[in-house]
């Protein structure tokens, strides 16, 4: 009997396991669940603005979209909440090294050890995103304007972020 499309992929098994673990042992700083019970490949995550950072008090929602060959390839993380940050593209996509495809960086910025490897889990991804909020990297920014403002006008940057925080609270 040939395997029907009912066969569960490695990606699906792994994602179900990670989801179950996070439900059982929630991790400080974020919560995660499926956007649709029937689609294990799309998660909705809420990142809680880290204490003692400009993002403190915010509840930022994002979508994690996993490829069918996960964990060989990284998911894409995209904020749905408004986000002002050097490492978040204007469309909400998060740009951090562990979400970049494995191997060497064609632009030479990142070591392959900093890029995606299959050992990463939703938890390590989310903790990296939380850490990104705490300490922006303006070396190779995704949002040039945010990076420029972060470098040259901290006060104005802070105001923009506080607006994002307030908006995220209103969306609750």
Three-class SS string for the chain? CCCCCCCCCHHHHHHHHHHHHHHHCCCCCEEEEECCCCCCCEEEEEEECCCCCCCCCCEEEEEEECCCCCCCCCCEEEECCCCCCCCECCCCEECCHHHCCCCCCCCCCCCHHHCCCCCCCHHHHHHHHHHHHHCCCCCCCCCHHHHHHHHHCHHHHHHHHHHHHHHHHHCC
| pLDDT (0 to 100) of residue 44 | 97
- The catalytic residue among 22, 62, 95, 129 is 95
Indicate whether 4 pLDDT > 70: no
What are the beta bridge partners of residue 60? 47
CATH code for the part of the protein at 10-170: 3.10.110.10
Residues 67/75, Cβ–Cβ less than 8 Å: yes
Indicate whether 163 pLDDT > 60: yes
Region 78-102: mean pLDDT is 94
Residues 103/46, Cβ–Cβ less than 8 Å: no
Please report, for the chain, the start and end positions of each structural domain, with discontinuous segments joined by +: 10-170
Q: Residue 3 — pLDDT band, cuts 50, 70, 90? A: very low
Could you read off the pLDDT of 110-159 as tens digits, one per residue? 777 788 999 999 999 999 999 999 999 888 899 999 999 999 999 999 99
CB-count burial class (<10 Å; 0-12, 13-18, 19+) for 74:
buried
Could you read off the pLDDT of 10-65 as tens digits, one per residue? 999 999 999 999 999 999 999 999 999 999 999 999 999 999 999 999 999 999 99
Q: What are the φ and ψ backbone dihedral angles of 164, each rounded to 5 degrees?
A: -60, -40
Mean pLDDT of the chain: 92
| pLDDT (0 to 100) of residue 68 | 95
| pLDDT (0 to 100) of residue 1 | 43
**Reported pTM:** 0.90
Residue 164 known to be catalytic: no
| pLDDT (0 to 100) of residue 55 | 98
CB-count burial class (<10 Å; 0-12, 13-18, 19+) for 7:
exposed
């Amino acid at each position: 009997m040939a395997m029907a499309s009912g066969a569960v992929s490695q990606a699906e098994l792994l994602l179900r396991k990670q989801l179950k673990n996070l439900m059982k042992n929630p991790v400080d700083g974020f919560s995660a669940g499926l956007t649709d019970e029937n689609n294990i490949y799309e998660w909705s995550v809420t990142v809680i603005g880290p204490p003692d950072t400009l993002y403190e008090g915010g509840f930022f929602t994002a979508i994690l979209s996993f490829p069918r060959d996960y964990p060989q390839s990284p998911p894409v993380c995209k904020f749905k909440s408004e986000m002002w940050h050097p490492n978040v593209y204007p469309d909400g996509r998060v740009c951090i090294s562990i979400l970049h495809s494995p191997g060497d960086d064609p632009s030479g910025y990142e070591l392959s050890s900093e890029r995606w490897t299959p050992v990463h889990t939703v938890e390590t991804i989310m903790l990296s995103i939380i850490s990104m909020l705490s300490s922006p990297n303006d070396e190779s920014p995704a949002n040039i304007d945010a990076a420029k403002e972060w470098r040259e006008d901290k006060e104005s940057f802070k105001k923009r972020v506080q607006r994002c925080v307030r908006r995220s609270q209103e969306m609750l």
